[in-house]
Structure 1
Amino acid sequence: MSSHPALRVLLLPVLAALLHAQPQSLARPGVTFQIFQFPADQIPRVDGNTDDWSMVPESYMIGTDQLMDTVHGRGTNIDRKDLDVRVKVGWVKGINRLYFLYEAYDNYWDFSRNDLHNDIFEVVVDGDLSGGPLIAQMHPNKDIPRWDAHFSMHGVHAQNYHIFTPAEGKDWALAWGCQPWIKELPYMNAAYKYNFKPGEAGRLTLEFWITPFDYASCDGPDRSVESKLWENKIIGLSWSILDYDDVNAKTHTGFWNLSHKQTMYGNASDLVAFRLMPLEPNLRKKLEAQWSFVVADMDRRLIAFTDRTVGQVTSWKWDFGDGTESTEQHPIHAYEKAGQYVVTLYVEGPAGKSRRAKVWDVTVK
């Protein structure tokens, strides 16, 4: 058994610092909202019902009090008899999706027209904190033709969704950019629940998920790269509510903005920090053995194993499947012969014992 503890000692603090670093270029410095982690066996159904979200603590709720009107000069003075909203955001470890629950009361729901004149929940996401302009109108090269800018960068590194609330007789959203395919399955899903007509007051529930992209190609999904989501990662995210109160009005009467910067709709540097949270303590198993591995050097059949056990561990035992063992937490092992191996991690802690075997995942030549 071979190991390189010095390398791990050098790298782990660097990785930890990167994971927990606070972004400096986003709007609202010092503010980091939280994204709730759903257990893998309790992924919310997209059906417009809120039952699946009952496990999400109210501390994750982002309400009207966090919004600012950045167009009409009303600041944070929102009349909740006119508009009141509640938003919760979730994720599931291992799936590159962001789940949203949007609950809103409006004294006048405007959605009878076929164009952009519609009450809108506008969501902008930057999954890798790349920052910078994301719409053609803000392209830094002012000499580039408008449509060349559109088809080269609009929505590519960060995405803007104009979500119609509600949508009747048209798509649920405008994916503002050159890649309308991101607003369709298998990259999103959405469901509404409401019982009002255009011009009436009432409450709306919107449940949906989207897939953020580090690179959303104008040519389609085959050349695109999804944003990878992991615990404690910080992403850029914000939203605004475009509130119309007159079907004949030329523009909205409210632009209520979480970022507090008007340009959040087109510049990813003006979004807000959101952290992908670990499971809440009451949803975690007390002890569950988990592990992963990478091939460090196939020529030497060198495999690096990483303990990812959930819960407090006092002892580890690795069975590498070739007759050798290790009691290190993160061993590196060299296999003498090519083959397919059953590797098992046994752990013990205050909560008891647990094991995790993987059959033939570890294969060397």
Structure 2
Amino acid sequence: MLSKFVAAAALAGAVVTAPAAAFDKPQTTYKVFQFPQDRIPRIDGEFSDWDMVPESYVVGQDQMTDQDGGHHNPDKTLNIRVKVGWVKGLNRLYFLYEAKDDYWDFSLPGLHNDTFEVVVDADLTGGPLIDVQHQDIWKPEWVGQRASKTDPRVPGSLTHWYSHGVQAQNYHIMTPHKDKDWAMAWGSPTWIKNFPFANAAQSYKFTPGQSGTYRLEFYITPFDHADPEGPERSVESKLREDALIALGWIVIDYDDVKTDAKNGFWSLSTQRPMFGLASDLPLFKLMPIENAKLEARWSWKVVDMDRRLVAFHDDSVGKATGWHWDFGDGTSSTEQHPIHAFAKPGSFVTILDVTGPDGTSRRSKVWDVQLR
């Protein structure tokens, strides 16, 4: 578990750097590509939106551990590629999953289905999210669920069930999904797999038992608290540039519809129980836009209305080395993130000019800043 200080910092909106040793692969941080806001991927089964993502962002099967689970000999027939993206201002993670397999198993209506299983813990709380294989360390109070007359220490009780998938989420994605939901949200808040909190589109040309290439694009919304009673009682994870999130996936490969034996169980984590223990997840960094042209952007927040004290924040894209703020009241500042007290009430035209190696850019906001 993270310290109370780190958790409090996350709630306050700070960019949190997790102690890497608390998660899997402490020497490795994977990257999440930032899409520009005018090039958000469309979930339509046409994958050209992803062409702009460099190969350096691809997580291949060479990064995954063959867990196998003792079922059969490790499956050597898979070829897996994954890209992950995000868009600044949207609390969504976008995925492109590509897999080649010699035998696609998806004819049965239940859980027996070739699977891409994604687990996300965006606020780095760590700890168990599913009780399977973790009943010895399961502590329901970690996720703050409501009290129950049933014993929280007893697996299967109402309180115990209520905790599943609340503080971190597991998406058991069917590949392909045919005549069934695209994913099983493993836990009590099953609504997280539904639009607008998630969406998916796939492409394939094979039938069950055949070989071929499968492609899937989708997005999910990570939650600090995904309440079983619905989104109205839930808290989305706030995705911020340069922040770390815990994220991982498993590929389960079935090759025999007559049994539940798996021919392959591949995990991005070195720890097989990562599907239910967020502390076993690797870390990903939400990257800035690559090769971004300089563009002035800024935001503001009233700190004290009685004193008309306003905090301004530079949100510019690209490399800025100089800032000039015109507050619209005859005063200015060259700080990057100034705090300014307006002498009189009013509605102000406030302007930020930024300079950098790539030139200059200006952003004015007309009457956004209004003080009484």
Query: TM-score normalised to the size of structure 1?
Result: 0.89
Q: What's the offset of the Cα at 1:312?
A: 4.2
Structure 1 residues 293-349: Cα deviation after superposition (integer angstroms, max 9, x where no partner)? 221211100112122333444543222122322333332211122222221112334
Q: 2:368 aligns with which of 347, 356, 361?
A: 361
Q: 1:115 aligns with which of 110, 114, 121?
A: 110
Match of 2:338? 331
Partners of 2:19 and 2:46 in 1: how far apart?
Answer: 34
Q: What's the offset of the Cα at 1:73?
A: 5.2
- Aligned residues of 2:240 and 2:286 also touching (Cα < 8 A): yes
What is the number of equivalent residue pairs in this alignment? 346
Partners of 1:37 and 1:312 in 2: how far apart?
Answer: 16
Structure 1 residues 119-143: Cα deviation after superposition (integer angstroms, max 9, x where no partner)? 0000000010100000133352583
Q: Which runs of 5+ in 2 are unaligned?
A: 1-11, 140-151
Q: What's the offset of the Cα at 1:46?
A: 1.0
Identity %: 57
- Aligned residues of 2:167 and 2:223 also touching (Cα < 8 A): yes
Matches within 5 A, 1:167-246: 167-246=177-256
Question: In the alignment, is residue 306 of structure 1 matched against residue 316 of structure 2?
Answer: no
Match of 1:30? 27
From the superposition, tell whether residues 205 and 363 of structure 1 become closer, same or farther in structure 2 (CA, over 3 Å): same
Partners of 2:347 and 2:198 in 1: how far apart?
Answer: 38
Match of 1:131? 126
- Aligned residues of 1:151 and 1:218 also touching (Cα < 8 A): no
Q: Residue 96 of structure 1 aligns to a residue in which SS?
A: coil
Partners of 1:218 and 1:136 in 2: how far apart?
Answer: 16
Matches within 5 A, 1:1-365: 19-20=16-17, 22-72=19-69, 79=76, 82-137=77-132, 138-139=134-135, 140-141=138-139, 143-281=153-291, 284-285=292-293, 287-313=294-320, 315-365=322-372
From the superposition, tell whether residues 78 and 186 of structure 1 become closer, same or farther in structure 2 (CA, over 3 Å): same
From the superposition, tell whether residues 300 and 71 of structure 1 become closer, same or farther in structure 2 (CA, over 3 Å): same
Partners of 1:173 and 1:49 in 2: how far apart?
Answer: 20
Partners of 1:265 and 1:83 in 2: how far apart?
Answer: 20
Q: Residue 300 of structure 1 aligns to a residue in which SS?
A: coil
Match of 1:6? none
From the superposition, tell whether residues 313 and 189 of structure 1 become closer, same or farther in structure 2 (CA, over 3 Å): closer
Q: Residue 161 of structure 1 aligns to a residue in which SS?
A: strand
Task: Give the letter aligned to residue 119 of structure 1.
Answer: D
Task: Give the letter aligned to residue 51 of structure 2.
Answer: S
Task: Give the letter aligned to residue 222 of structure 1.
Answer: E
Q: Residue 344 of structure 2 aligns to a residue in which SS?
A: coil
Q: Residue 279 of structure 2 aligns to a residue in which SS?
A: helix
Q: What's the offset of the Cα at 1:71?
A: 3.5
Q: What's the offset of the Cα at 1:275?
A: 0.7
Q: What's the offset of the Cα at 1:74?
A: 9.6
Partners of 2:83 and 2:342 in 1: how far apart?
Answer: 48
Q: What's the offset of the Cα at 1:150?
A: 4.6
Q: Residue 168 of structure 1 aligns to a residue in which SS?
A: coil
Q: Residue 112 of structure 1 aligns to a residue in which SS?
A: coil
- Aligned residues of 2:115 and 2:252 also touching (Cα < 8 A): yes
From the superposition, tell whether residues 275 and 314 of structure 1 become closer, same or farther in structure 2 (CA, over 3 Å): closer
- Aligned residues of 1:72 and 1:253 also touching (Cα < 8 A): no
From the superposition, tell whether residues 364 and 179 of structure 1 become closer, same or farther in structure 2 (CA, over 3 Å): same
Partners of 1:75 and 1:20 in 2: how far apart?
Answer: 39
Q: What's the offset of the Cα at 1:187?
A: 0.3
Range with greater deviation from structure 2 (144-153 or 88-97): 144-153
Partners of 2:281 and 2:60 in 1: how far apart?
Answer: 17
Partners of 1:50 and 1:204 in 2: how far apart?
Answer: 12
- Aligned residues of 1:136 and 1:149 also touching (Cα < 8 A): no
Q: Residue 56 of structure 2 aligns to a residue in which SS?
A: helix
Q: What's the offset of the Cα at 1:49?
A: 2.3
Q: What's the offset of the Cα at 1:34?
A: 0.7
Task: Give the letter aligned to residue 317 of structure 1.
Answer: H
From the superposition, tell whether residues 253 and 76 of structure 1 become closer, same or farther in structure 2 (CA, over 3 Å): closer
From the superposition, tell whether residues 318 and 50 of structure 1 become closer, same or farther in structure 2 (CA, over 3 Å): same
Partners of 1:233 and 1:273 in 2: how far apart?
Answer: 10
Partners of 1:75 and 1:310 in 2: how far apart?
Answer: 50
Structure 1 residues 251-299: Cα deviation after superposition (integer angstroms, max 9, x where no partner)? 3221111102110010000111111111112xx01x2212222212111
Structure 1 residues 78-121: Cα deviation after superposition (integer angstroms, max 9, x where no partner)? 52xx2111101001111000000000011110001100000000
Match of 2:142? none
